[in-house]
Structure 1
Amino acid sequence: MTDPALPNGDPVPATALAETPLADRHRALGASFTDFGGWSMPVRYTSDLAEHHAVRTAAGLFDISHMAEFRIDGPDSGAFLDYALAGRLSVLREGKAKYSLLLNDAGGVVDDVIVYRQGEDSYLVISNAGNHAVVAAAFAERSAGFDVAVRDISAEVSLIAVQGPRAAEILADTESVEIPGLDDLGFYAWRNGTFAGDELFVARTGYTGEDGFELLVTNERAGELWDALLRAGGPRGLVPAGLASRDTLRLEAGMPLHGHELSAEILPAQAGLGRVVALDKDDFVGKQSLAAVVAGDAPVLVGLVAEGRRAGRAGYAVLDAEGSPVGEVTSGALSPTLGHPIAMAFVSPRVSALGTELFLDVRGTRIPATVTALPFYRRTT
């Protein structure tokens, strides 16, 4: 079959994927790329396992500039976010961050976000790349009636993550980085610093289950910062890491991924995120639906562990002892850290108790699996 052609005979160009300001550096490092949310992103540089283990034992360097960033400013900024999101953000202290959910009218999860309070009337919201447009549209619609300005700054900034037990010492020793009080910066907190004299936003947050930082910098400085972090971290075991290791790291840490454990059809309580919702707020999008009783047979998210080497993957069926389908795997892998298969799955509440023996249908073979508490892995320091 020949490629389709334009009327002049030229081939039809493939849909161009967006690239981050660090794309040339990834190519120079030998990265393999994949389409992720419309972005060409490094999936690995050398080995998924090597990159995963580096993050667990030393540090990994991730380009997460595909994420979307929004500035929320104005006297009603807190009230607006209380209405637009599921949590109570107006009480968030300056210098702190909070995980929250953007819901639809039916109470389903449109996206999960991190909110940082930057001032009395100023917040930063970071959302997922694949939901950039829908989050922007929701904020525009929900801001009506509030004295607030919502500005999408995604195209202006890059986001780099340094994750792992040696992340703090690497960041402290990175040339041209100045972060006052870095040693005292707590988890889910942020601070302003500088890189080569330019503003640098530093948050002690991440998506790997390890200590680490996410650094927001102007696009113009992103390459220099990436290089400086590699120079400081190389002798300490830091390696560039791609999306493949990021996925196994977050799975071990029991962290949900939108499109897998979260979706517009999944209620927060089903995904174990009922605690994120402030139902006592006067009003927020989705409140009326969430106030209703959730159906008793609605699937709930559980962790599953198995023996051997064969892992259940997203979409694989979960079976009960009689071989009847009782759920579906949302994410699964052979855990690099633990050495056995792990998975998250939505299953019937009747088989969701800890210790329940189930089976994974792995390409026609029934693999025994046991319901276990999340997360699968928790750092000890």
Structure 2
Amino acid sequence: MTEELTTPLHAEHVAAGATLTSFAGWQMPLRYAGDLAEHHAVRTAAGLFDLSHMAQIEVSGPGAGAALDGALVSVPSQLADGRARYTVIVAEDGGIIDDLIVYRLSAEDYLVIANAANRVSVLDQLALRSQGQPCAVVDRTPHRALIAVQGPRAAEILAPLVDVDLTMLRYYASVQGRIDGVPALVARTGYTGEDGFELAVPAEGAAGLWRLLLGAGEAAGLVPAGLAARDTLRLEAGMPLYGQELTRATTPYEVGLDRLVKLDHDFVGRDALAARAAARSGTHLIGLVGSGRRAARAGSTVLSGSGGEGAAEIGVVTSGVLSPTLGHPIALARVDVPTAAGEQLDVDVRGTRQPMTVTELPFYRRPA
């Protein structure tokens, strides 16, 4: 058996008594004090996440922008320095290999953040697709850490520690700075539906920074948070997860990511996506809300109408949970027939039909 990887913060998690779990080949904290407490802390104060399992891939050189343009469905070379973009990389047939965040640090320096499970696939594809361009594709994951501070008090906690003005940092933008002497790429991004920051730092400075942030944020209510809370937070925010909403068998057009695809440039998979755009499959991603306390889980069948023996199977739940913030069941589902907000469908929840209503995404929006 292959030995699982650990992040530069592994000893911190063990010392804190975290429940560890195997995730995408890594030992990661599933929870510390408890899923609900961590979830509510992020919604009301702040949470501290270890995201160091995520791939950090540098693409640099005079041809870096052109290489990424040809590799991805978007056009990273058109970003301004210091800006970031959420995007996807697809196969020749248009199927999603991974969803990514691409940071343009300068005209010749880009950082690609990929999912841990797809690190090798994305690295290989970027290297293959950049052939012929004067650029280098380098996996920095083993030498880096990624720490996220998420929640309404995130800026308040981080601002006194970092040597950059966070009030000037827009959403999906980044800046190079230092935190207690540790060089950091400070990005205003996140996966929780709250304001927050992701800090890419050298591995050797990660543990000290983690402890510094915990201490600085204690009075404000910041707590360490694990994968379980991260999943319920992202689901409330209507954010897709690779392996559930996004798969190799789906294209961006089946999962509500049409806006990411720029067909006016040449990239791997363009022809397949152009054909799909012209002849939609009908499959699409929807949000569902229910009542009571029983949550539909991934794999639950979605049925047309409400009640009746003639209800047809029209889709499948990809993610579902009893929302800690909203207090009722929510789910994302892929369905094959047209739907509209307010329409009632049935979901087979462990053998019992449960009515759920189609709703606009996201389920939760942070207060203005």
Which residue does the alignment assign to 1:16? 3
SS at match of 1:301: strand
Structure 2 distance, partners of 1:378, 1:263, is 26
Pair 1:77-2:64 in alignment: yes
Q: Counterparts in 2 of 1:62-141, with a 5 A limit? A: 62-141=49-128
Q: Which residue of 2 aligns with 1:40?
A: 27
Which residue among 325, 349, 357 is the counterpart of 1:362?
A: 349
Separation (CA, whole Å) in 1 of partners of 2:241 and 2:100: 11
SS of 2:76's partner is coil
Give the counterpart of 2:198 among 214, 218, 235: 214
Determine the structure 2 residue equivalent to 1:11: none
**2:36 aligned to 40, 46, 49, which one?**
49
**Deviation per CA, 1:269-290, whole angstroms, max 9, x where unpaired?**
1100000011111x10110001
1:272 matched residue in structure 2: 256
**In 1, Cα distance between equivalents of 2:163 and 2:191:** 22
Counterpart check, 1:330 vs 2:353: no
Write the distance in 2 (CA, Å) between the matches of 1:66 and 1:119. Answer: 25
Contact 1:297–1:349 under 8 Å retained in 2: no
> In 2 relative to 1, CA 297–140 (structure 1 residues): closer, same or farther, beyond 3 Å?
closer
Structure 1 length-normalised TM: 0.93
Instruction: After TM superposition, give the deviation of residue 31 of structure 1 in Å.
Output: 0.6
> Which residue identity does 2:320 align to in structure 1?
G
- Contact 1:167–1:213, Cα closer than 8 Å, also in 2: yes
Are the equivalent residues in 2 in contact too, given 1:179–1:191 (CA < 8 A)?
no
Aligned to 1:143: 130
Q: How far is 1:28 from its partner?
A: 1.1
Distance 1:135 1:15 in 2: 20
Stretches of 4+ aligned residues off by more than 4 angstroms: 294-297
Instruction: Provide Cα deviations, 1:9-68, integer angstroms capped at 9, x if missing partner.
Output: xxxxx5421111111111111110111101111000011110000000000000000000
Q: Distance in 2 between matches of 1:158 and 1:217?
A: 5
Which residue, 235, 238, 260 being the options, matches 2:222?
A: 238
In the alignment, is the contact (CA less than 8 A) between 1:179 and 1:192 conserved in 2? Answer: no
1:284 maps onto 2:284 in alignment: no
CA contact (8 A) 1:298 1:349 kept: yes
Amino acid at match of 1:83: G
CA RMSD of aligned residues (A): 1.1
Residue 310 (1) aligns with residue 297 (2): no
Task: State the 1:264 CA deviation.
Answer: 1.1
The answer for the alignment partner of 2:336 in structure 1 is 348
**More moved, 191-200 vs 240-249:** 191-200
Which letter does structure 1 place at the counterpart of 2:334?
F
Shift of 1:297: 4.5
Instruction: Report if the CA contact (8 A) 1:115-1:126 is conserved.
Output: yes
Aligned pairs for 1:146-161 (under 5 A) are 146-161=133-148
**1:247 is matched with which residue?**
231
Give 3-state SS (helix, strand or coil) of 2:52's partner. Answer: coil
Gaps of 5+ in 2: none
The one-letter code sitting in structure 2 at the alignment partner of 1:28 is: A
Q: Which whole-Å deviations, capped at 9, do the CAs of 1:92-115 have from their partners, x for residues lacking one?
A: 000111111011001111000001
- Tell me how far 1:173 sits from its aligned partner: 2.9
TM-score norm. by structure 2 comes to 0.97
| Offset of residue 296 of structure 1 | 4.6
CA distance in 2, matches of 1:293, 1:34: 38
Residue 305 of structure 1 aligns with an amino acid whose one-letter code is V
Report how far residue 349 of structure 1 moved. 2.5
Gaps of 5+ in 1: 1-13
Q: 2:327 aligns with which of 331, 336, 339?
A: 339
Asked if structure 2 preserves the Cα contact closer than 8 Å seen for 1:94 and 1:118, the reply is yes
Deviations 1:142-180 (A, max 9, x none): 011111111111111000000000000100133xxx332
| Partner SS, residue 81 of structure 1 | helix
Q: Which moved more, 1:207-216 or 1:143-152?
A: 143-152
How many residues were matched structurally?
Answer: 363
